[in-house]
Homo-oligomer: A and B are copies of this chain.
């Protein structure tokens, strides 16, 4: 298909001939393996020859010989249309690149068979390691044959022992709720997702943070203030709509939403009820979702998910850089991003 423009493959052999040394010498000099034992003249000749010929080592051959391919596999259950966690992959790739490692990316869409096949294919390519990441923070059945030195991101294994990198959702929710309580809010609703199928750790932890802050602040828990809906703006809107039809005395002054999409729905519901955000209703989200949180009006105060940090850390752990992490469970902070959707409440 090509018109022969693909340069005739130059291998170590041509370099050796060109430099007038043996191929063994070339290999050792180019790889700095006791290269200092060669006189500088020889080393230069080799380097020059390699450069002139445009020599590029064949990583297949090297990998076959050394059984290290400088490739890693990242398998995720991410779905095409979900920009959610693509930051994880991007960050992992970034670190890989910084270390001369190439990343195989496989999207399984969550299918177990595809996962297994992907792992097998990757294993056949002799990858040096795996990262297994999920879109939402949950418990997972780890695919068969996934090596035990794999790093899991955004999920915990239902069985077996792996290194794991997860967001501190409990802490994030706790911070957000304290922010609301300290702003004087006492009737705070929790707008949860109703998608409880694959053990939704995120939802549980965020709810726990909600409940505990209430308790710590001596605010009685009111189950009427916990509502559920689909985890998108429609679900958020419907759920908050229900909240806002409550009698004025029991109606919340603030809502803490499971995620930013639901929070966006909360804005819509509030508007439909003739309420201003944050004047009449304060709203806090979760995720710091690009294209939503910052761009909505008014800017949404929310908790950021450390996708980038998780991706980077996972790859570093896998590549064995930055050793200090002896923990095998890394919980990363979810910082509160303060924008304009919460207003301090003067105590009634």
Which of A24-32, A90-98, A198-206 lies at the interface? A90-98
Within 8 A of B (CB), among A223-260: 232-234, 237
B120-A264 in contact (CB<8A): no
The verdict on A60 contacting B64 (CB below 8 Å), with A106-B103, A149-B1 known, is: yes
The verdict on A100 contacting B121 (CB below 8 Å), with A2-B149, A83-B290 known, is: yes
A106-B93 in contact (CB<8A): yes
Complex CA distance for A122 and B101, rounded to whole angstroms: 10
Which of A12-20, A42-50, A51-59, A166-174 lies at the interface? A51-59
Within 8 A of B (CB), among A59-81: 59-61, 63-64, 69, 71, 78-81
B87-A80 in contact (CB<8A): yes
Copies in the complex: 2
From B5, B105, B232, give the contact of A89 (CB < 8 A). Answer: B105
Complex CA distance for A45 and B194, rounded to whole angstroms: 52
Which of A123-131, A181-189, A208-216 lies at the interface? A123-131
Hey, which chain B residues are within 8 Å of A69, CB to CB?
A: 60
Complex CA distance for A61 and B67, rounded to whole angstroms: 11
A302 at the interface (CB under 8 A from B): no
B126-A60 in contact (CB<8A): yes
Hey, which chain B residues are within 8 Å of A292, CB to CB?
A: 291-292
A97-B118 in contact (CB<8A): yes
A80-B103 in contact (CB<8A): no
The verdict on A71 contacting B125 (CB below 8 Å), with A93-B105, A295-B233 known, is: yes
A84 CB, min distance to chain B CBs, angstroms:
8
A59-B125 in contact (CB<8A): yes
